[in-house]
Structure 1
Amino acid sequence: MPDNSNVSVAVLLPCYNEEVTIGKVVRDFKAALSNADIYVYDNNSTDHTAEIATSEGAIVRKEPRQGKGNVIRAMFEDIDADVYVMADGDDTYPADAAPAMVDKVLEGYDMVIGDRLSSTYFQENKRPFHNFGNRLVCGSINGLFHANVTDIMTGYRAFSFTFVKTYPVLSHGFEVETEMTIHSLNNNLRLFEMPIQYRDRPEGSVSKLDTVGDGIKVMSTIFRMIREYKPLPFFGGLGAVLGIIGIVLCGSVTVDFWHTGMVARFPTLIGAVMLVIAGLLLFVAGIILDVMAKNDRKAFIIDANQFAMLKRNAK
């Protein structure tokens, strides 16, 4: 087991109207990680979340930009630690799993994922569309990145210092967890999944998730990140579809010309040629963007190595 006696650990709890549960969550993490600093970032709560967290000994800060992604961005910018543990303030994740997650980060993993789906999530979660959405997102991303991640959207994670300081938070809302996973897979980071015992919100605690709205945002994030991280399959696939349609139409016009000696459908021929040209342009664009994406991955590796070196030199 890694020596964590001199390791600084930060527990990150983004919160919006969690007065029912935040006190217990802070106490649980204090008991599980006695030497950790507990940070509660209040995201414009209208209840007593901040006051309760302060009374329990948490370090409370305000984040005026609404949305979980904005809160995580502020946390990653503001807080320096050797290991970070991120959870929600709704008491759905067990704090007693945190020490094992910290140990895995100290072993060298960039991100440890608290896997809900392998344990109690489908029994505890009472929202069937959430269950369907989790399966859909996991299947889509694993297929595109040739990965085998079980729980892509979990909010319970642990991170290394290097991951936190080199991860660009672009999402504003709950789609940030999906973005984290895709970012990690694209850059071939060291991931470890640890099954955790998920529990549904206690009575009186209200979920902030909008099943349809947040689902659309998650799928939009996946679409955007595939376009950015996998440009050759994305644009090449679109180009292939357009090109095939254009070739088929050109073929039908050619057959007519073969039989009659006349081109009777000039608009079809012109449209078909334009489709073939558009398909070729999309394919070329995919190749160019793929080269740029590979250069971005090289730059990320260089940045990550520099942060790791600075961290070692600072000790």
Structure 2
Amino acid sequence: MPCYNEEVTIGKVVRDFRAALPDAAIYVYDNNSTDRTAEIAAAPDIVAKVLEGYDMVIGDRLSSTYFQENKRPFHNFGNRLVRGSINHLFRAHVTDIMTGYRAFSFTFVKTYPVLSRGFEVETEMTIHSLNNNLRLYEMPIQYRDRPEGSVSKLDTVGDGIRVMSTIFRMIREYKPLPFFGGLGLIIGIVGIVLCGTVTFEFAKTGVVTHFPTLIGAVMLVIAGLLLIIAGIILDVMAKNDRKTFVLDTNKIAYNKRH
């Protein structure tokens, strides 16, 4: 299907062809269009994956031309940092977490609580999907950098801080045991080390000369234990929330069919 700068009409034409020839492979040749023809023409493919049963389909820029086209090194570094952090914490293999080109299922839309107001919303969507075992599909898309004279609306530092804050908040909420347990373990170890120094001094001299250190060390150990216990309790609650989420999504799917 040859065309040139047909962003207004190409979407309907592709949909009409797909309706008339549902089993056909449709190829759109945009002849290096300067508008959004290629992006709009690709939309039916990303929607088709949702219709196949995926809850969120992600337009993956990083597997194609992103790092060649994007001339902003801090953006590239930020993408790698966020991707590595989330994939490590949630044991996932998502390639492009920061992309805004996505399609969603009915279930995703009805169960996703929008809490972010800015650029960090993509991160929140991805973590929501990974935490609740929703079906993700990544579809490589072509990325082209902004043309000369076009200014990005992104604030590298400000948006980066908001994204990392979102990750921090969602780890605290979705992974409470590693978060609070790890924090409690660190604090507890510091307290034990301080207790050890006081105990060593007492064993050597028979006198405790650093009572404030001893009291502070005991308080740190207690605080560490409380954080670990809190992490265990919150982890149980988070697992129950995930069970409730699964039941709710099953109800949504059932009601949609009936």
> What TM-score results when the alignment is normalised by the length of structure 1?
0.71
Confirm whether residue 312 of structure 1 aligns to residue 252 of structure 2.
no
> Following the alignment from structure 1 to structure 2, what is the Cα–Cα distance between the partners of residues 233 and 92?
46
Distance 1:292 1:93 in 2: 46
User: Is 1:200 aligned to 2:145, yes or no?
Assistant: yes
Counterpart residue type for residue 251 of structure 2: Q
Q: Does 1:216 align with 2:133?
A: no
The change in CA–CA distance for 1:25 and 1:307 in structure 2 (over 3 A counts) is farther
Counterparts in 2 of 1:190 and 1:144: CA distance versus 1, 3 Å: same
Q: CA deviation at 1:28?
A: 4.9
Contact 2:79/2:98, CA 8 A, preserved across alignment: yes
Alignment correspondent of 1:283: 228
The aligned residue for residue 293 of structure 1 is 238
Is 2:57 the counterpart of 1:128?
no
In the TM superposition, what is the alpha-carbon distance from 1:261 to its structure 2 partner?
Answer: 0.6
Aligned equivalent of 1:108: 53
Give how far 1:205 is off.
Answer: 3.4
State the AA in 1 paired with 2:125.
M
Report the aligned-residue RMSD. Answer: 2.1
CA distance in 2, matches of 1:92, 1:284: 55
2:99 maps to 154
Please tell me whether the aligned partners of residues 232 and 287 of structure 1 are also in contact (alpha carbons under 8 angstroms).
yes
Percent of paired sites with the same residue: 79
Equivalent position of 1:246 in the other structure: 191
1:259 maps to 204
Which deviations, in whole Å up to 9, do the C-alpha atoms of 1:80-129 show, x marking residues without a partner?
xxxxxxxxxx9598223222212211111111111100000111112111
CA distance in 1: counterparts of 2:156 and 2:38, whole angstroms: 20
Per-residue CA deviation, residues 64-89 of structure 1 (Å, 9 max, x unaligned), is xxxxxxxxxxxxxxxxxxxxxxxxxx
Name the SS of the counterpart of 1:189 in structure 2: coil
Instruction: Quote the residue 1:271 is aligned against.
Output: 216
Which residue is equivalent to 1:96? 41
Q: Distance in 2 between matches of 1:122 and 1:147?
A: 21
1:137-176 pair list within 5 angstroms: 137-176=82-121
Contact 2:10-2:37 within 8 A present in 1 as well: no
Q: Does 1:191 align with 2:136?
A: yes
The equivalent residue for 1:60 is none
Hey, what's the Cα distance between the residues in 2 that align with 1:309 and 1:110? 16
More moved, 112-121 vs 93-102: 93-102
Query: Following the alignment from structure 1 to structure 2, what is the Cα–Cα distance between the partners of residues 139 and 130?
Result: 14
Counterpart contact for 1:33–1:98, Cα < 8 Å: no
Q: Which has the higher strand share?
A: 1
Deviation at 1:29?
3.9
CA contact (8 A) 2:6 2:37 kept: no
CA distance in 2 between counterparts of 1:144 and 1:215 reads 18
Unmatched segments (≥5 aa) in structure 1: 1-22, 37-89
CA distance in 1, matches of 2:78, 2:38: 19
8 Å CA contact 1:116, 1:196 repeated in 2? yes
CA separation of 1:156/1:28 partners in 2, compared to 1, >3 Å: closer, same or farther? farther
Equivalent residues of 2:7, 2:37 under 8 A apart = no
| Bigger CA radius of gyration | 2
- TM-score, with normalisation over the residues of structure 2? 0.86
CA displacement at 1:131 relative to structure 2: 0.7
SS at match of 2:94: coil
Residues 1:203 and 1:249: Cα distance change in structure 2 (over 3 Å): same
Secondary structure of the residue that 1:194 maps to in structure 2? Answer: strand
Q: For residues 39-73 of structure 1, what are the alpha-carbon distances to aligned partners after superposition, in whole Å with 9 as ceiling and x for unaligned?
A: xxxxxxxxxxxxxxxxxxxxxxxxxxxxxxxxxxx
Query: How many residues are paired up?
Result: 238
Distance 1:34 1:204 in 2: 36
The structure with the largest helix share of the pair is 2
Does the CA-based 8 Å contact 1:111-1:158 persist in structure 2?
yes
Q: In structure 2, do the counterparts of structure 1 residues 93 and 236 end up closer, same or farther at CA, with 3 Å as the change threshold?
A: farther
The answer as to whether partners of 1:121 and 1:199 remain within 8 angstroms in 2 is yes
